[in-house]
A and B are shown apart, each in its own frame.
Chain A
């Protein structure tokens, strides 16, 4: 567990009514409940797709550190920050 609230081994899934589509290397999220669209940049898109695929933030941080050539601790920190924001905006939910 981190101070932010989402555990590094959390299992997450898109919230009900959230639809994602890839546009080039980015992802656009449609939130039917909130009535808004959101955009994820290339790194965020990779995080989203790995989350949907069932990986935990810790596992995704390893992927991000390798693919985007960033230091592991920073990759994990950024990954958790994004996940926290997605959860806070109601775009992600914890798998039960």
Chain B
């Protein structure tokens, strides 16, 4: 009837080659081979590209991991995922690498009139008492077919304003579910999905508790869904499932 189930072990998501340390009154972070970021005692960041670094990679890390790191130092959460908005209402896409987060965002921006808020890291803000997704990225890194391009692709419409998330959507391929379908995730299932996407840079106890508070608050305000589809279901069909989900929400 009742049970204890282990939900997750410690998860510390860091980019490959990433490390950071306290440096005097500030912080020094390094994305190996890409850039070094210094954040001073006032929280102001400056960066220096690594010698010979690919300028596109520098641009991407600055817009995603480095931005999330600076926000985390200020106690502001970010999720690994893409986000789009239409009429001030956002959808946030979560999931493993290759689950179709960026492709879904690209498709919705290209063909359904959405604005891009984030391609890889969704910045969250609750300073108004309600969770919002902030516009932080204006370019896609995958095209609508999910193929990587040589450089960023400017979104047709880049979001300029924070948007209220209507749903947090975990995307997953499942060949047992040939037709795309959206199912609500509740309770610990919602927690596990959000915790997996939560970007964290250190495992201090106080930050763990703060993270639990953030995720509980987020889950209480915003419904979490899982959209599963087989790999035979293409981006166009997936986008239609997502639009239908958005339109079904209150």
Contact = CB atoms under 8 A, between A and B. Distances in A.
Contacts, number: 90
**Chain B, interface residues (CB within 8 Å), range:** 20 to 34
B3 A19 contact: no
Interface string B160-204: 000000000000000000000000001110110001000000000
B12 to A, nearest CB: 11
A41 B205 contact: no
Contacts of A78: 1-2
Contact of B208 (A30, A79, A82, A91): A30
B249 interface: no
For this complex, into which size category does the number of interface residues on chain A fall?
Answer: 20 to 34
Contacts of B8: 36-37
A13 B217 CA distance: 24
A17 B195 CA distance: 19
B187 A39 contact: yes
B192 to A, nearest CB: 8
B2 A37 contact: no
Contact of A37 (B1, B195, B216): B195
Contact of B2 (A23, A47, A89): A47
B24 to A, nearest CB: 29
B212 interface: yes
B2 A43 contact: yes
Contacts of B41: none
15 contacts: A21-B213, A23-B188, A24-B190, A28-B7, A36-B10, A37-B195, A38-B5, A40-B5, A41-B3, A41-B188, A43-B2, A44-B2, A70-B1, A74-B1, A81-B2
Interface of A: 17, 19, 21-26, 28, 30, 32, 35-44, 47, 68, 70, 74-75, 78-79, 81-82, 85-86, 89, 91
Given A30-B209, A43-B1, A44-B2, 19 more contacts: A21-B212, A24-B190, A28-B7, A28-B212, A32-B205, A35-B9, A35-B10, A36-B8, A36-B10, A37-B191, A38-B4, A38-B7, A39-B5, A39-B7, A39-B188, A40-B3, A40-B4, A41-B3, A82-B4
Interface of B: 1-10, 186-188, 190-191, 195, 205, 208-209, 212-213, 215-216, 219
